[in-house]
Amino acid sequence: MSFRFSWVLAFFILQIVLWIVWRLKDQKNDPIFPDASEKVKIISRSNLDKNRIQWRNRLILIGLALLALAASGPQIGTRVRPIERKGVDLVIALDTSTSMDAEDVTPSRLAKAKFELGRLIRKLKGDRVAIIVFAGSSHLYLPLTTDYEAALLFLNEIDTDMIPTQGTSLSSALNTAMTAYTEENDKFKVMLMVTDGEDHEGQAVELAAQAAEAGLMINTVGVGSETGSLIPVKGKDKKTRQYKRDRNGKLITSTLNERILKDIAAAGNGSFFWFDNNRDTHADIALAIETMEKKTISTHEFSEYEDRYQSFALLAFCFLVWGFVMPTRPGEKS
């Protein structure tokens, strides 16, 4: 049992205290006219029934106490009702390779991607979301869930040190995405691949076509600029010490591979989006998901306390009416 407005119970407790004080009060004197003359007392006793007056007062006190209890919003037991969610299964594959530390997008590619994905997750309505992190290899970081707060917490903890195997294996991310779905439905499965497009294996387009045949829609999101940027190498204090170089000692400039991402999206029956300093396309992605055909994600029963103030209010009304209409004159003696 719980109370919606528990502070109102103070009035209920106050009434109990007043009733106890009233009961402990000296009842020897006439409770009606304690200072009246004896003649007046005799007349009042002949026209008023002391016992009935006491019962009338008790009924009114009980009615007021029940009224205070009803006003506190008592909730007793549980009410069971069905809850239905409709949505799609969205798997977000986020690139965590070192090239995502490039700062051609403010403050960095990875930080920009996390910011936009966080805004996207907050716009979801009933969809399940999963997160895959990948670099040279990939793993399922967060299984499908409708707990968006948990998804945001997991998303905020992602950095480029999560996967020790460096590189960018888009095909590995695609393979992991196929295993993230718990049901073999031929639709309602959407993948969002967020990366700068560097592919060190070159099999992503073929795998995207195979995934599309299995019912997976693949959307790609490019992160970066057309001009590219150097890749910072950060020390243990997370501050940039130098920039990444190739085997010949030349600085490496990482640029967005827009072409391969568009090819993957085309093969996966999806669309290509772009995160950079001039594009905040999370709203476009959310709109695309919103307009998709939805499936019933889950149907379960939700239990909650049920309001029961009506019963207490009805009892309070009955006691108050009974107390106010109860006659106080003595009954006729036969």
Which domains, from first to last, does the chain contain? 2-73+308-325 (no CATH), 84-298 (3.40.50.410)
Indicate the burial class of 175 (C-beta count within 10 angstroms; 0-12, 13-18, 19 or more).
Answer: middle
∠279-285-287 over CA atoms, to 5°? 120
High-pLDDT (> 70) share of the chain, %: 77
Task: Please tell me the distance from the alpha carbon of residue 131 to that of residue 173, in angstroms, as a whole number.
Answer: 10
| Residue 238, strand partner residues | none
Indicate whether 156 pLDDT > 90.
yes
Please report the pLDDT score of residue 82 as a whole number: 65
Provide mean pLDDT across the span 273-280.
80
Mean pLDDT over all residues of the chain? 80
Please report the pLDDT score of residue 220 as a whole number: 94
The label of the residue with tokens 């772009």 reads 274
Nearest C-alpha neighbor of 199 from the set 117, 277, 134: 134
Indicate whether 233 pLDDT > 60.
yes
Per-residue pLDDT band at 221 (split at 50, 70, 90): very high
What tokens does 22 get?
């009233």
Provide mean pLDDT across the span 131-142.
91
Please report the pLDDT score of residue 143 as a whole number: 92
Please report the pLDDT score of residue 320 as a whole number: 83
Provide mean pLDDT across the span 194-214.
82
What's the pLDDT tens digit per position in 90-102? 999 999 988 898 8
What tokens does 84 get?
């239905």
Please report the pLDDT score of residue 32 as a whole number: 57
